[in-house]
């Protein structure tokens, strides 16, 4: 399978032509990675000082900025934090402009979620298997119930030298789910309530969230699957940008340092083809309503 769909854009703000927009939405929803080799996020000279792994607090992999402007897991001083916050806000603005310009039909359902900065080299870090993003997975998070909504992520490699972000992209979602679903053990319903009581603001987990987390964990823990499944290695060079539905595209980040990432959530009613959403694919496979 051809996993990348490339676009020759050099600016974050549209208008983008209708043919390009049509190609973008079709590729995105069918599980491709949209690749913008010449779309760079420019780090200003004074921001170069932010290109160090020392900046993250070590408690989390990434520094995050929530849409209200609050920075988390950073360890710099006040001046450095202000610089970091401004750079991340500028990136978020660019990401919103690009996604709104490319997918105007998403406007009603699109929500800007967190922005993250990932200053640590990926290769050589050690994590428990379920937290190890060098293993192929679809994104699903224990504390962030989606109830069928989509997770779309946009990344820019801002490495100051020539180090690419290296990913593996795996098989199509439906193929993965066909293999993995029979092996997934979903948690008892009581677990959803426990999570709700500890993170009430996020709402209740649905059967969809349990299945997606089950697919995430089961795939990561299955070393035979990880070894044997078809995968394509992709190198995203510094100065490039890419975008995909990470709840659909099987992905693994193998190596690289310094990327900025913007997460979006989307209600599936806004999709051109909602039947391609993981929730619809899983509902068809299980014969159940999942949210
Ligand atoms: C991931 O979403 O699994 C990691 C992607 C990255 O940091 O390149
Ligand atoms: Fe991921």
Flag whether 213 is in a domain: yes
| pLDDT at residue 188, rounded to an integer | 67
Return d(Cα 6, Cα 242) in angstroms, integer: 9
Flag whether 28 is in a domain: yes
Q: What is the CATH number of the domain that holds 45?
A: 2.60.120
- E-assigned strands of 82-173? 110-118, 150-157, 165-169
Flag whether 291 is in a domain: no
Query: Does pLDDT of 6 surpass 80?
Result: yes
CA 272 / ligand 2 centre spacing (Å): 24
Return d(Cα 97, Cα 103) in angstroms, integer: 10
| pLDDT at residue 1, rounded to an integer | 62
Mean pLDDT over the full length of the chain:
94
Domain assignment of residue 99, given as a range: 4-286
Q: Which of 76-85, 204-213, 221-230 shows the highest mean pLDDT?
A: 221-230
Q: What letter would DSSP give residue 204?
A: P
Burial of 135 from C-beta contacts in 10 A (0-12 / 13-18 / 19+): buried
Higher pLDDT, residue 171 or 194 = 171
CA 288 / ligand 1 centre spacing (Å): 30
Flag whether 154 is in a domain: yes
Average pLDDT over residues 23-41: 98
User: Domain count of the chain?
Assistant: 1
| pLDDT at residue 185, rounded to an integer | 85
Ligand 1 in reach of 159 Cβ (< 6 A): no
Query: Does pLDDT of 243 surpass 90?
Result: yes
Q: Which whole-number Å values give the CA distances from 137 to 47, 95, 134, 224, in the listed order?
A: 32, 24, 9, 14
- Residue-wise pLDDT for 173-186, tens only, equals 999 999 999 999 87
Ligand 1 in reach of 253 Cβ (< 6 A): yes
Q: What are phi and psi of 150, to 5 degrees?
A: -90, 155
Average pLDDT over residues 210-224: 96
Q: Which whole-number Å values give the CA distances from 238 to 42, 88, 122, 140, in the listed order?
A: 11, 17, 15, 27
- Residue-wise pLDDT for 135-156, tens only, equals 999 999 988 999 999 999 999 9
Decide if 263 contacts 152 (C-beta within 8 A): yes
Average pLDDT over residues 258-284: 98
Query: Mutation test of ligand 1: which of 133, 144, 243 has the most ligand atoms closer than 8 Å to its C-beta?
Result: 133
Q: Which whole-number Å values give the CA distances from 167 to 55, 236, 289, in the listed order?
A: 24, 8, 33
Q: Which residues of 175-213 are buried (b: 16+ CB within 10 A; e: fewer)?
A: ebbebbeeebeeeeeeebeebeeeeeeeeebbbbbbbbb
Return d(Cα 206, Cα 284) in angstroms, integer: 16
Flag whether 23 is in a domain: yes
Average pLDDT over residues 59-80: 89
Decide if 258 contacts 118 (C-beta within 8 A): yes
Query: Mutation test of ligand 1: which of 56, 152, 254, 261 has the most ligand atoms closer than 8 Å to its C-beta?
Result: 261
Ligand 1 in reach of 165 Cβ (< 6 A): yes
Flag whether 227 is in a domain: yes
What is the pTM (predicted TM-score) of this model?
A: 0.95
CA 186 / ligand 1 centre spacing (Å): 24
Nearest-atom number in ligand 1 for the CA of 167 is 8
CA 244 / ligand 1 centre spacing (Å): 11
CA 252 / ligand 1 centre spacing (Å): 7
């Amino acid at each position: 399978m051809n996993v990348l769909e490339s676009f020759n854009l050099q600016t974050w703000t549209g208008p983008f032509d209708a043919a390009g927009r049509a190609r973008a939405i079709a590729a995105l929803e069918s599980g491709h990675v949209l690749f913008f080799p010449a779309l760079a996020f420019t780090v200003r000279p004074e921001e170069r000082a932010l290109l160090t792994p020392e900046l993250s607090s070590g408690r989390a992999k990434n520094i995050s900025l929530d849409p209200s402007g609050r920075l988390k897991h950073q360890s710099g001083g006040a001046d450095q934090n202000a610089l970091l916050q401004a750079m991340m806000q500028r990136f978020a603005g660019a990401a919103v402009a690009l996604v709104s310009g490319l997918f105007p039909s998403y406007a009603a359902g699109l929500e800007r979620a967190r922005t993250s900065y990932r200053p640590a080299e990926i290769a050589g870090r050690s994590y428990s298997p379920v937290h190890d993003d060098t293993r192929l997975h679809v994104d699903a998070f224990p504390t962030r119930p989606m109830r069928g909504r989509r997770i779309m992520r946009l990344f820019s490699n801002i490495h100051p030298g020539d180090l690419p972000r290296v990913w593996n992209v795996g098989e199509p979602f439906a193929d993965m789910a066909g293999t993995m679903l029979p092996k997934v053990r979903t948690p008892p319903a009581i677990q959803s309530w426990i999570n709700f009581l500890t993170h009430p603001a996020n709402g209740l987990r649905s059967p969809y969230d349990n299945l997606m987390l089950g697919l995430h964990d089961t795939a990561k823990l299955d070393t035979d699957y990880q070894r044997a499944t078809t995968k394509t290695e992709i190198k995203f060079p510094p100065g490039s940008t890419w975008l995909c539905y990470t709840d659909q595209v099987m992905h693994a980040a193998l190596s690289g340092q310094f990327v900025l990432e913007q997460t979006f959530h989307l209600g599936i009613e806004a999709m051109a083809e909602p039947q391609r959403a993981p929730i619809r694919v899983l509902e068809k496979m299980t014969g159940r309503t999942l949210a």
